[in-house]
């Protein structure tokens, strides 16, 4: 009977015994490590303690997650604890927030293994250090909300459990639009501001320093993928290329796998700038001791201040020096720094974290059974003595979010209490009973201004884009670990003024004496253009000189710009220079030579005319129609002066006269030659005895050929001028750096018709002269006429291909030379032999009958 009563008594006390057995005596990762009682309690889960196996070689597959070899405190994460204590103490002394209600806290360590996170949450809900189903050690629930971790994985893991009870859960890590967009966990609130402007900020920084070839080191999770996707859009939009993407696997809140050998080699690529993304933004320190052989002379651009890394790792590698960080701008809470300077284990004996911290950094002996230090320790020790790389007195980004989260919960509780009073003013119902799900309407609508003037909003849709501070890490000499603000990025500023950088404040990594370059290919200098390489990113290209007549006056242009017709490209092809206006001038060597030739032949022709006039009654002058010879000589005189119209500054009048006068004069000349040839033929064929057509010669019919042919040419010229007359034109291509002013023929058909017409007359004269070359007569000039027409045709047949193969002033000179050459051929072959006989062989300038009488008299002088 006694045994039965004892069994019943023990059974009734089973719940108490289980609680006593389950509660630890000192450190565990699951039980709460800091408790401050209050009418309302806020729970928090911070990754303050980290378990480290004794062995340096970790087998991640077989490692026991329930047995830990040693625990050490993360000093940077401990600031989260102090921020929460500071906020609660500040609220409790303010009468206008939660009057007559004290706010308490309950802080748990957040395990770095994901599989143990729910164990901590269940320990908080049940009050047991080891979760036993259907048992709880809590009599009344005072919990209002929970602050849960930094990463998205942690929030999702907590949300799976806490969302069942509609428990408010505040995430103080970076804002996660993916998690919010899915609305999978409606009880989760993001305290941090939007990080949408971060992508534009990083891109603006890249553009400012002309870094177009960058690498990415991101977390291997959904947030890392989302960051990569959004950043890639901004980089592609601004023509910045990603050299490589490497991922870091995080096994929990802060534990990561070291980079592999291949990943390390990738980081050693030609990209000098590496963007690092993740909550513990100094993931670059995942390079463990075995990788110290690599000299990583890189510029690291990280998305937040480094948190929770052992200072020895990166000070030994000297990787931190020169790093640029992006962190949301917020006001400085000066009272918080004063608060931390006064924090000691003696002042807060219940804070186990603080005792472990003192033991870890000040070598104070620790009583392991109670996790308390002995009284004898370093005098005047304080957190202020810790180096900046280990612990910061200035509130970090995450601590600031914790501070705002506590205030958001407190104001929501205050609004809830006021709401209950308004609805049930006379109700005697106990208002101290708290159901956490009742806070949701107030948390969603909360908008408060904190002590430094910043607005705290939990509703994602109402959040505004935040301004970012850009800081530079000074870690030289090694261990300095000084964070210096060097710029800001304000998304609300006008475009082009959003980024502000003080370059003179930036300390670049050791090995860089000036602003580092990070490009796949060196910039193409002015005068060159980019040629994108096949199967390569757009930032990898070759440079090729601009084509002729094209320039590029900027670097890295994709296309060269063609100079206007009035300009030409300089030697470097970087600028367009104005072309010089020029024309075939008398001062030009080519113009001078042709002018002298023209005047020379003009003088010679004048002399020939003089000779013919003086000896007009001699047989050789009278033989082939003296009047036709005079017409031909006068026409040749004008033909030799015709090229002078091509020299000098052209105008409309000279352009019209050039071609039409040339055609008319040559028509008269050739028709005269044709008339002379016909006269020769008629003299021997028609004048024979018995011919009835002798009257044609008597009436001088051949001379009518000249006006008829001229009339035909005038008709051609009239049609030419009526349809497409010549005009003043500019040739900007023939001569480099010059625009040649010349005459455009207007109608090429009209010009070639004129040449064809002249060719027909010349060829007809040649045939007639050739057929009559052997006619018996002392002064028969058929051979001279045939040779002159043959030479005339040869000149103009040669002219056509040469004319088409030249341009500019050379083409004009070619036409002038052809006019002079063809005119000179007629003059030389027809008239020079006659002048020679007249001047130097007068004995041959007599009729055959008179010549025989003279010979007879010379033989018989007596007769």
Please answer whether residues 733 and 579 qualify as being in contact, where contact means their C-beta atoms are separated by less than 8 angstroms.
no
Please answer whether residues 463 and 194 qualify as being in contact, where contact means their C-beta atoms are separated by less than 8 angstroms.
yes
56 by Cβ neighbours in 10 Å (0-12 / 13-18 / 19+) ranks as: exposed
* Distances from the Cα of 587 to the Cα of 155, 187, 595, 644, 848, angstroms: 90, 94, 10, 13, 53
Kindly state the greatest CA–CA separation across the chain.
205
What would the CATH number be for the domain defined by 589-610+624-831?
1.20.1070.10
Domain boundaries, the chain: 26-54+67-194+332-428, 196-331+465-505, 528-578, 589-610+624-831
Total length of the chain: 863
| pTM score over 0.75 | no
CB count, 10 Å around CB of 780?
19
Question: DSSP 3-state assignment of 334?
Answer: helix
346 by Cβ neighbours in 10 Å (0-12 / 13-18 / 19+) ranks as: exposed
Degrees, nearest 5: CA angle 360-480-77: 40
pLDDT score recorded for residue 235: 92
Domain 26-54+67-194+332-428 matches domain 196-331+465-505 at the CATH topology level: yes
Please answer whether residues 487 and 502 qualify as being in contact, where contact means their C-beta atoms are separated by less than 8 angstroms.
yes
Handedness of CA 525, 526, 528, 531 (dihedral sign): positive
Q: Going by C-beta distance under 8 Å and a sequence separation of 6 or more, which residues neighbour residue 674?
A: 705, 709, 761, 764, 765, 768
Angle between helices 589-614 and 626-641 (to 10 degrees): 160
Dihedral angle of Cα 762, 764, 768, 771, to the nearest 10 degrees: 100
Helix (H) or strand (E) holding 728: strand 727-731
Cα 690 off chain centre by: 98
Task: Compute the half-sphere exposure of residue 544: CA atoms within 13 Å on the CB side of its CA.
Answer: 12
Nearest to 213 by CA among 146, 274, 129: 274
Alpha-carbon distance of 107 to 123, in angstroms, equals: 12
Quickly count helices (H) and strands (E) in the chain: 25, 29
Backbone phi, psi, residue 197, to 5°: -70, -10
Handedness of CA 334, 335, 336, 338 (dihedral sign): positive
Nearest to 344 by CA among 307, 309, 387, 373: 373
Alpha-carbon distance of 48 to 111, in angstroms, equals: 9
* Distances from the Cα of 603 to the Cα of 596, 610, 669, 815, angstroms: 10, 10, 18, 21
Question: DSSP 3-state assignment of 750?
Answer: helix
Nearest to 677 by CA among 775, 611, 535, 589: 775
Question: DSSP 3-state assignment of 500?
Answer: strand
Domain 26-54+67-194+332-428 has CATH 3.40.50.2300: yes
Backbone phi, psi, residue 641, to 5°: -85, -15
Which architecture does CATH list for 196-331+465-505? 3-Layer(aba) Sandwich (3.40)
Backbone angle region of 241, left / alpha / beta, with phi > 0 → left and psi within -120 to 50 → alpha: beta
Question: DSSP 3-state assignment of 630?
Answer: helix
Taking 50 as the pLDDT cut, the residues of the chain under it are 1-25, 29-31, 54-69, 280-294, 306-317, 687, 692, 695-699, 849-857, 859-860, 862-863
Nearest to 178 by CA among 198, 151, 204, 145: 151
Alpha-carbon distance of 743 to 809, in angstroms, equals: 10
């Amino acid at each position: 009977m006694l045994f039965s009563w004892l069994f019943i008594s023990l059974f009734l006390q089973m719940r108490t015994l289980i609680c006593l057995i389950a509660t630890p005596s000192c450190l565990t990762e699951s039980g709460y490590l800091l408790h401050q009682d209050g009418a309302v309690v806020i729970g928090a889960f911070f990754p303050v303690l980290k378990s480290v196996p004794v062995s340096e070689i970790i087998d991640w597959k077989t490692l026991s997650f329930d047995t830990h070899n040693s625990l050490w405190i993360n000093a940077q994460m401990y600031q989260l604890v102090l921020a929460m204590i500071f906020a609660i103490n500040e609220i409790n002394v303010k009468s206008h927030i939660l009057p007559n209600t004290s706010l308490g806290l309950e802080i748990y360590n957040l395990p770095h293994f994901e599989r143990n996170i729910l164990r901590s949450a269940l320990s908080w809900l049940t009050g047991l250090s080891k979760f036993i189903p259907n048992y709880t050690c809590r009599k009344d629930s005072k919990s209002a909300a929970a602050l849960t971790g930094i990463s998205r994985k942690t929030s999702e893991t907590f949300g799976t459990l806490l969302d069942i009870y509609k428990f408010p859960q505040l995430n103080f890590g970076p804002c996660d639009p993916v998690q919010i967009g899915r609305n999978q966990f409606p009880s989760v609130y993001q305290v941090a501001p939007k990080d949408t402007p971060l992508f534009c900020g990083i891109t603006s920084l890249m553009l400012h320093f002309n870094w177009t070839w960058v690498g990415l080191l991101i977390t291997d999770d959904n947030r890392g993928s989302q960051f990569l996707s959004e950043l890639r859009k901004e980089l592609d939009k601004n023509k910045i290329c990603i050299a490589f993407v490497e991922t870091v696997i995080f096994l929990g809140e802060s534990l990561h796998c070291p980079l592999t050998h291949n990943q390390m080699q990738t980081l050693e690529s030609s990209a000098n700038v590496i963007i690092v993304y993740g909550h513990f933004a100094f993931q670059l320190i995942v390079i463990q001791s075995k990788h110290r052989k690599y000299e990583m002379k890189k510029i690291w651009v990280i998305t937040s201040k480094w948190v929770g890394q052992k200072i020895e790792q990166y000070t030994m590698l000297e990787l931190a020096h020169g790093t640029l960080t992006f962190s949301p701008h917020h006001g400085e809470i000066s009272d918080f720094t004063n608060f931390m300077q006064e924090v000691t284990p003696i002042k807060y004996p219940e804070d186990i974290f603080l005792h472990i911290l003192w033991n870890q950094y000040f070598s104070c002996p620790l009583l392991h059974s109670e996790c308390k230090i002995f009284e004898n320790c370093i005098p005047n020790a304080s957190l202020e003595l810790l180096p900046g790389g280990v612990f910061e007195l200035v509130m970090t980004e995450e601590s600031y979010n914790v501070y705002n989260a506590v205030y958001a919960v407190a104001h929501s509780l205050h609004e809830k209490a006021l709401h209950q009073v308004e609805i049930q003013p006379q109700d005697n119902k106990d208002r101290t009973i708290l159901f956490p799900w009742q806070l949701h309407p107030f948390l969603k609508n909360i908008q408060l201004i904190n002590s430094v003037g910043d607005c705290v909003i939990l509703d994602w849709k109402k959040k505004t884009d935040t301004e970012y501070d850009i800081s530079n890490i000074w870690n030289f000499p090694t261990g300095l670990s000084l964070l210096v603000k060097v710029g800001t990025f304000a998304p609300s500023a006008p475009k082009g003024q959003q980024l502000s950088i003080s370059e003179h404040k930036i300390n670049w990594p050791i090995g860089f004496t000036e602003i580092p370059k990070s490009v796949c290919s060196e910039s193409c200098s002015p005068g060159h253009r980019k040629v994108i390489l096949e199967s390569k990113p757009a930032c990898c290209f070759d440079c090729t000189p601009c084509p002729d007549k094209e320039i590029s006056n900027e670097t890295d242009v994709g296309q060269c710009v063609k100079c206007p017709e009035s300009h030409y490209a300089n030697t470097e092809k970087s600028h367009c220079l104005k072309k010089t206006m020029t024309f075939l001038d008398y001062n030009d060597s080519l113009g001078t030579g042709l002018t002298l030739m023209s005047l020379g032949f003009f003088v010679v022709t004048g002399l020939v005319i003089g000779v013919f006039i003086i000896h007009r009654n001699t047989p050789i002058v009278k033989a082939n129609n003296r009047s036709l010879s005079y017409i031909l000589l006068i026409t040749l005189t004008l033909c030799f002066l015709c090229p002078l119209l091509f020299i000098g500054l052209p105008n409309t009048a000279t352009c019209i006269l050039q071609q039409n006068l040339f055609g008319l004069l040559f028509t008269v000349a050739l028709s005269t030659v044709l008339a002379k040839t016909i006269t020769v033929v008629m003299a021997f064929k028609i004048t024979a005895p018995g011919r009835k057509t002798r009257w044609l010669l008597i009436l001088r019919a051949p001379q009518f050929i000249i006006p008829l042919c001229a009339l035909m040419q005038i008709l051609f010229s009239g049609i030419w001028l009526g349809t497409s007359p010549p005009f003043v034109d500019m040739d900007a291509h023939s001569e480099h750096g010059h625009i040649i002013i010349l005459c455009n023929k207007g109608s090429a058909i009209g010009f070639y018709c004129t040449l064809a017409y002249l060719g027909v007359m010349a060829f007809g004269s040649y045939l007639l002269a050739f057929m009559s070359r052997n006619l018996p007569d002392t002064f028969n000039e058929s051979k001279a006429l045939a040779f002159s027409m043959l030479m005339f045709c040869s000149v103009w047949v040669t002219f056509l291909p040469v004319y088409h193969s030249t341009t500019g002033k050379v083409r004009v000179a070619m036409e002038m030379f052809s006019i002079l050459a063809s005119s000179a051929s007629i003059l030389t072959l027809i008239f020079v032999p006659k002048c020679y006989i007249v001047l130097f062989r007068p004995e041959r300038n007599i009729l055959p009958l008179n010549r025989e009488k003279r010979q007879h008299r010379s033989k018989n002088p007596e007769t």
